[in-house]
Amino acid sequence: MPNPMTNTIFTNLPGVELTVKDVASELAHMWSEIAESEGSEFRASQLNLILHFGLNVSDSEAQRHFDAAIAFAQRYPSRIIVLCPTHKLTGADGMVRSKLFSQCYLGPSLREACCCEALILNYEAADFAYLVNQVSVWLEGDLPTYHWFCQVPAKRIKEHYLDFLRLVQKVVINRSLEDSDLLMVPWPEHCRCVDLANARTLPIRQALGQFLSRFPISDLSQGLVNIRVSHCPAFNGEAMALLDWQRQCLGMDSSESSNSCQFTLLEIPDNCSEVALRIDWLYDNKHFLVMAMGENNGTACLAYDFGAGKDHATLQVACLPLDRALSEALFFSGAAI
C-alpha cells in the first residue's frame, strides 16, 4: 500500500503545473488559439467529470483511472477535474497545487478531432472546505456533473463531501476496489450511486442471458439448489453483480425463507489470467451449468446439461474496459445501488 504521507499521484500524472488562479485563463486562451488555427471548434463539453482519489491509491492505479477518464472524454467531451489529496504539501505556495493537461486526438476518419482537458488539483486532505470552493469554480456551468470516487473512505465522504454532492447527478464507485462501507453512505436523494463493477459485466450478462433464453425457465430452475460465483480477488465486485443479476433473473429473493436455492460467493487464488470469474449452477439431479472465463482471453467456456444431455459452448465475451464501463454506468443501464 502506498504511503499517504508521500503521495506522488499529482507529481506523476501528466500536465503543466500552473498556479491555481492561472488555470482557467490559460484554458480559455488555449481553446481560443486552437479554434483560430484550425478554423473550427473541436471542443463542445457535454459534462463535468470529477475523478476523486483517496490517499492510499497507488500511482499505477491512479494512472489507469486517469487514462480511462481521458479515453471516456474522447467519446463524450468532458471537463475532467482530478482531485489528488496529500497529508502535507511541500514546495507549494499556499495550500494547493494545480496542473493543466490537454491533448487533441484524431478520429477514425482522420478528419475529426477531439480535444480533451483535465484540471488536476493537489490539496491537503484537511483543507476540504477550500477544495469544494475551488471545484465549484472550475466546473462548467449548466452541464451535468458526475463524481467518480476511487478509494475515498466512506467515513470521509459522510463527514465532508455530502453537501458538495448535492451538485452532482450521479456518483460512481467500483465495488471491486472499495470498502463495503461505501454501499451504506446516505447519498443525497437526487444523487444516484452507480457501480462500475456491475457495468463491466454487461457483455457477460447479455451473452449468458441470450444463451439461457433458449431453455424453458422450468428446465433451468427445477432442482436448482445453489448458484455459486467464484472469482479472483480483483473481480469481487463483478462477482457480486453477477450473483445479484442471476437472482433477479430467476425471480429468487435470498431473504425469503421459502427459497430453496442458495447464492454463494467464493474467492479463489489470484490467478485472473486462467479463471477470473466462474459460475456454477448446482442441482439435486443430474443437471448442471458451468461457465468460466479468464481476465483477458475474450472467451467464456460453457458446459451444461438441462435434461437433454451434456453439451458445451464458447461465448465471445469479456468485461468492459473502464472507459466503456463508465459510459455504460452514466448514460445507459447503470443500475443504482
Q: Which residue has the cell 439435486?
A: 284
pLDDT tens by residue, 164-209? 898 899 999 999 998 888 888 999 988 899 999 999 999 999 999 9
Claim to verify: residue 132 and residue 206 sit in the same structural domain: no
Claim to verify: residue 135 and residue 281 sit in the same structural domain: no
Domain of 229, CATH number, reads 3.40.30
Q: Residue 83 is part of which domain span?
A: 4-196+325-331
- What are the residues whose beta carbons fall under 8 Å from the beta carbon of 276, sequence distance 6 or more? 231, 232, 234, 235, 238, 293, 294, 295, 319
Give me the pLDDT at residue 39, please: 47
What is the pTM assigned to this prediction?
A: 0.88
The residues of the chain scoring below 50 in pLDDT are: 4, 39-40, 256-258
Claim to verify: residue 121 and residue 91 sit in the same structural domain: yes
- What are the residues whose beta carbons fall under 8 Å from the beta carbon of 156, sequence distance 6 or more? 54
Claim to verify: residue 172 and residue 212 sit in the same structural domain: no
Helix, strand, or coil (residue 337): coil
Domain of 23, CATH number, reads 3.40.50
Claim to verify: residue 191 and residue 288 sit in the same structural domain: no
Strand partners of residue 172? 148, 194
Helix, strand, or coil (residue 148): strand
Give me the pLDDT at residue 270, please: 72
Give me the pLDDT at residue 227, please: 96
Q: Characterize the bridge pairing of strands 78-86 and 113-124.
A: parallel
In a domain, residue 165? The reply is yes
Helix, strand, or coil (residue 82): strand
In a domain, residue 336? The reply is no
Claim to verify: residue 192 and residue 209 sit in the same structural domain: no
* DSSP H or E run through 129: helix 128-138
Give me the pLDDT at residue 252, please: 72
In a domain, residue 238? The reply is yes
Claim to verify: residue 67 and residue 182 sit in the same structural domain: yes
Give the number of domains in the chain: 2
Claim to verify: residue 89 and residue 214 sit in the same structural domain: no
Find out whether 299 and 317 touch, Cβ atoms under 8 Å. Answer: yes
Claim to verify: residue 156 and residue 229 sit in the same structural domain: no
In a domain, residue 234? The reply is yes
Claim to verify: residue 192 and residue 207 sit in the same structural domain: no
